[in-house]
Structure 1
Amino acid sequence: MQTHDAYRRRLLQAMAVLPWWFSRRAAAAPIPDAARIIALEWRPAELLLALGVTPMAIADAPNYRSWVAEPALPPSVLDVGLRNEPNMEAMQRLAPSLILLSEGFGPAPASVASIAPTMTFRFSRQGDRPLAVARQDIAALAGRLGMPDRAQRHMADLDRQLDQTRQRLASGSLPLPPVLLFSFIDSRRIMVIGKNSLLQDVLDRVGVANAWDGEENVWGSATVGLERLAQFRGVRALCFHRGAQDPLAEVAGSTLWQTLPFVREKQLRVLPAVWFFGATLAAMRFCRMLGQAMEPRA
């Protein structure tokens, strides 16, 4: 009888801690298969790549390669249609473990929740700058995937890159001119990057002024006619080129282009594409380019 009672007490004690044990396991459990994640917008795709995880599929892969360019997508990454209208049937067949979205662009989480769990990110939040939000998002995604150490290492790399670029720029003998950041949409319109942008956060950190002081949207950009650039003098213009689709070669022969002050003053620098609405990897890519683009040319 005593043996039976002792066994019964031990069994009851074990059953009492089972709910606690299972709740701890559930809270700590990462996404079961990080290799089966779909990113329906390019910023979440970048967040994933920053953690060293390749998405199974993204939306609009061809335009990713033009507008984002780096980090490059491996050939294994599948395409699931447009960012604002992804192919639901294709996603169902892929059976993802997680779907990443951006708030304010693309489908609502409820529309894809039947396919897989979702995680949504915002470009900026009230009171927080885009780069600060990107840091928060990297940490949140790393937590969801059970990879907090990767996020910490990545953030250390980001800070190191920003500090090195600031030191490099500060070591010059001449004052740094303000920069005008833009990319062509077509032969008559450009997208100019303003002070609410991710790139502005990089400029602030490395000590370079942004020449644009006009209108901009919540993502820190504005679409304007090419003629608006004629008002900027004494600036260094950084034009982000989108490869074969970019109309710069066509525009460069026009009279308007040749009369722009920064063209006449040889203060134009043509740079590879950077995703203006990205996160930490886009900030690091711009940082590397900026360090070289601000050096004077003989």
Structure 2
Amino acid sequence: MRRSTMQLRRKLMAGAAAAVIATALTGCGTTEAAVEPANEAPAGQAITVLDYQGQEVTLENGPAKRVVALEWEQAEIFTSLGIDLVGVADVAGYTSWAGNSVPLSGKPADVGTRGEPSVEAIAELEPDLIVGSASSVPDAVRGQLDRVAPILLLGASATGTDDGPLERMKYVVDTFAKTVDRADEGKKLFGDFSDKLDANARRIAKAGAAGTPATFTSIYESGGSIVFRLEGEGSLTQGVLDRLGLQAAYTGKVEEYGLASSDIEGLTEFPDDAWLFYWANADSDDPVATQLKGNGVWDGLPMVQADRVRGVADGVWLYGGPVSLGLFSDEIANVMTAR
């Protein structure tokens, strides 16, 4: 029987540290070390999996029934497995940035922001599993959440590991599927994604576009300057572009999550035949139309002059799971085969 919410609140208040929760983190991934899934346990018995640090997380009562997701990648994957989450961090944000690919099922409660969860809101839901990325739980509240339910922090976005980003995604899907006794669904979810990548790669090759340089970026303003957050080696998007048979237009140094920052001048080093795909969002201004059009350097880029810049992935979370990244591959293939 679950502990009552009132009892749990008392325990949380008694053990709470007098600290302010850290500023919300908006990182899109983690630098998890590559680990191997633990052996599967029979349904109804204790299940043990490994988090991003290789530490065991055990569900003593078997598969989780009430799951709270503190990050959108985890929310997408569990929803794709057929799980109605009881709580999600920033439901409105998920709907805007990921809702077109995998809409949330059921009516999950909002449990705070990504990186700044509400302990009380989570406790009221009486979950039996809390999932997120390495940055989802501030140190100030980790002890409190540990008393609510087992916490599994694990995500696919990583650099500096032996495994590539898509292999990491498969591991994460398999691990999450195990916690809810959906192993077959997990295999199908990633298998369908892999088949889609292969099919889209064949489409691109048939169109004679294989080997074309391409890179994905986010575009935003910082301190009055336009910043391009390029996604290079180790990022999920570049992993997809690689599988599609395209070359990386950006081959420079990357930092965490396979990301690199550049100004407009940095784009002049791209190959003349490169494509640039940027993240579009219907709830935000189009950065190309509102911030870049009319800029002399931007307008002079070969890819701009040749109309090889496209906004993609509106409502598709590109730090997410197989469904979102599969839709991204569809969009790329559609663009590359239309010319």
- What's the TM-score once normalised by structure 2's chain length? 0.73
Matched letter for residue 151 of structure 2: T
The answer for the alignment partner of 1:150 in structure 2 is 185
The answer for the alignment partner of 1:129 in structure 2 is 164
**Per-residue Cα deviation, 1:23-43 (whole angstroms, up to 9, x for no partner):** 99523663352xx21100111
8 Å contact kept, 1:39–1:57: yes
**Structure 1 residue 92 and structure 2 residue 129: aligned?**
no
8 Å contact kept, 2:209–2:336: no
Q: CA RMSD in A?
A: 2.4
8 Å contact kept, 1:31–1:98: no
The runs of 5 or more residues in structure 2 that have no matched partner are 1-41, 48-60
1:202: Cα distance to partner?
A: 1.6
8 Å contact kept, 2:216–2:231: yes
Name whichever of 147-156 and 171-180 sits farther off: 171-180
The answer for the alignment partner of 1:72 in structure 2 is 103
The runs of 5 or more residues in structure 1 that have no matched partner are 1-22
8 Å contact kept, 2:214–2:241: no
Tell me, in whole angstroms, the C-alpha distance in 1 between the residues paired with 2:104 and 2:182: 21
Q: Secondary structure at the match of 1:244?
A: coil
1:161: Cα distance to partner?
A: 0.6
Q: Secondary structure at the match of 1:292?
A: helix
Distance 1:146 1:63, change over 3 A: same
**Per-residue Cα deviation, 1:264-297 (whole angstroms, up to 9, x for no partner):** 1111122123433223223212211111121243
Number of residue pairs matched?
Answer: 273
Matched letter for residue 309 of structure 2: L
8 Å contact kept, 1:40–1:86: yes
The answer for the alignment partner of 2:199 in structure 1 is 164
1:196: Cα distance to partner?
A: 1.1
2:243 paired residue among 182, 187, 205: 205
1:247: Cα distance to partner?
A: 4.1
Matched letter for residue 261 of structure 1: P
8 Å contact kept, 1:184–1:246: no
Higher Cα radius of gyration: 1
8 Å contact kept, 1:197–1:276: no
Distance 1:242 1:106, change over 3 A: farther
Of Structure 1 and Structure 2, the greater helix share is in 1
Distance 1:105 1:117, change over 3 A: closer
**Per-residue Cα deviation, 1:172-220 (whole angstroms, up to 9, x for no partner):** 1455421021122237122211111112222222211111122322201
**Structure 1 residue 259 and structure 2 residue 278: aligned?**
no
Q: Report the identity percentage.
A: 27
The answer for the alignment partner of 1:276 in structure 2 is 318
- What's the TM-score once normalised by structure 1's chain length? 0.82
Q: Secondary structure at the match of 2:246?
A: coil
1:105: Cα distance to partner?
A: 4.5
Matched letter for residue 120 of structure 1: L
Q: Secondary structure at the match of 1:245?
A: coil
